[in-house]
Amino acid sequence: MYRKMTLARLILCMSLLAVASGCGKRAPVNSVAPLATAPAPVVLPTSPGTSAAATRGLPDFTELVAQAGPSVVNVSVVERGHAVRGDEEEDADDPLHDFLRRFGGQPRGAEPPARGEGSGFIVTPDGYILTNAHVVEEAREVTVRLTDRREFTAKVIGVDHRTDVAVIKINGNQLPTVKTGDPSKLRPGEWVIAIGSPFGFDNSVTAGIVSAMSRSLPDGQYTPFIQTDAAVNPGNSGGPLFNMAGEVVGINSQIYSRTGGFMGISFAIPIDIAMNVKEQLIKTGKVQRGRIGILIQDVGQQLADSFGLDRPRGALVSQVEANGPGAKAGLKPGDVILSVNGIAIDRSGQLSATISQLKPGTQVTLDVWRDRTSHKISAEIAELKEGRGNGAVKSDDHSSGRLGLSLRPLSALERRTAGLDGGLLVESVEGPALEAGLRPGDVLIGANGQRIASAEQLSSLVEKSKRSIALLISRDGSTIFVPIKLRD
């Protein structure tokens, strides 16, 4: 009996092992297995008027694109042709020249007109459209194509090169328009989408996030750009940048690239600046900007230490125009402008953009950091108009070891030649000054916000300074502050 039960158990176990082996058999290496369906992302609804959507997972842009997409247009441009070369009259007797002229060909010596494409968006129901200046500035013909494939001939109303904003107009009514938002409410990390016509592909949608705000670019001193990583390519220029509430917050304008194609960094013009330009171009055909007659630069850590600021911030005044609004208000080289009418200035580009949008004649209150204390200075805004070698004379030398500079006073002739009322000529450079970029021929005219009349005065300031000192240098007719990390 015991042997029978043992044999039966053995048979049962072998059967179970056979079943288990069949269920666990691996599929062949080259077989295709079905993919598991990923769970749908959860999207939290947004309340109207908010500038960002609270999302978990990836956001859904379909409703936004459906609502905003029809207001985005393709802008096709035929540029002005180049003049025919001077021997055209000689070609007029050529039978081939006459044939080409009669049947629409291009005579010898004439270049075919260039064509280009960009993007834009409708801002009024009667057909005013915003785009980039560089899209239409050389246009002979401008054609606007809507998402329903209707085409209109557009007129260029005005172009502003300083902000790269242009206004064009088509004849229409009840056209779909965009909603405009407030760029100042954007935050790095917030989702945005770009709609445009890259390479002529109408209403292409790309998404990304805000990478940074108030970016200064070398050719855009009047525009604190919005930086994003939304893909922008040739043809996207002039198209809108939307926040998650479906509001336009910028105009896609530039990319940073080493190849000519998108590399993850794009820049947009804030819509509030563009709308200000639009209103002026429509009313007067030109843009009026404010100025206070100063040259400014960013404040780095060493400059902040030199001037006693708690951190790098503000716009450092490096030069004041004689008899300009800044000079009349009492601004001096070495002043750091921290705010305009209560609006904080973190970088120099913000000051340029803020002042330029003010009307001439406006009174502004500047919060100025001078001599390690804050001062209030009132200035009147003026209008920004468009288009706006030393001899060697023997003297006593002075060497500042902590700086690495060899200096001497300017002679009377040198002062007249350079247009300066004083200063110390840099004769040789080494050590910290060389590392900071100073060079022989520079003229030292100030340090830490004080005018320098003698080498002894400079030495005294150097001794009082701890980690760094800010030198005001005149070079090639311009002045700039140079921070120098002092040698122990």
Which pLDDT does position 401 carry in this prediction? Answer: 57
Average pLDDT, the chain: 79
Is residue 196 very low, low, confident or very high in pLDDT (cuts 50, 70, 90)?
A: very high
Please state, for a pLDDT cut of 90, what percent of the chain lies above it.
42
* Domains observed in the chain: 59-80+113-285 (2.40.10.120), 290-383 (2.30.42.10), 398-485 (2.30.42.10)
- pLDDT beyond 90 at 191: yes
- pLDDT beyond 70 at 29: no
Residue 214 identity: S
Which pLDDT does position 295 carry in this prediction? Answer: 85
Burial class (CB in 10 A: 0-12, 13-18, 19+), 379: buried
69-102 CB burial, b ≥16 within 10 A, e <16: ebbbbbbbbeeeeeeeeeeeeebeeeeebeebee
Which are the catalytic amino acids? Answer: 134, 164, 237
Q: Which residue has the higher pLDDT, 408 or 338?
A: 338
Pairing of strands 363-370, 343-344: unpaired
Which pTM value belongs to this model?
0.64
pLDDT digits (tens, 9 = 90+) for 466-477: 778 888 888 877
pLDDT digits (tens, 9 = 90+) for 378-404: 999 999 876 442 222 223 334 445 777
Q: Which two tokens stand for residue 376?
A: 């209030």
d(C-alpha 281, C-alpha 278), whole Å: 5
Average of per-residue pLDDT across 230-251: 94
**Tokens 């805004």 sit on residue:** 381
Pairing of strands 247-255, 179-180: parallel
Nearest CA to 76 out of 128, 148, 149, 153 is that of 153
Q: Which two tokens stand for residue 183?
A: 């760029």
d(C-alpha 121, C-alpha 147), whole Å: 11
CB 59 within 8 A of CB 244: yes
CB 351 within 8 A of CB 317: no
- pLDDT beyond 60 at 336: yes
- pLDDT beyond 70 at 302: yes
CA-angle at 424, arms to 420 and 430, nearest 5°: 135
Average of per-residue pLDDT across 199-206: 92
pLDDT digits (tens, 9 = 90+) for 402-458: 777 878 887 766 777 777 878 888 887 877 888 888 888 888 888 888 888 777 788
- pLDDT beyond 80 at 84: no
Q: Which residue has the higher pLDDT, 94 or 102?
A: 94
Is residue 100 very low, low, confident or very high in pLDDT (cuts 50, 70, 90)?
A: very low
Least confident of 34-48, 151-165, 193-207, 226-240: 34-48
- pLDDT beyond 70 at 483: yes
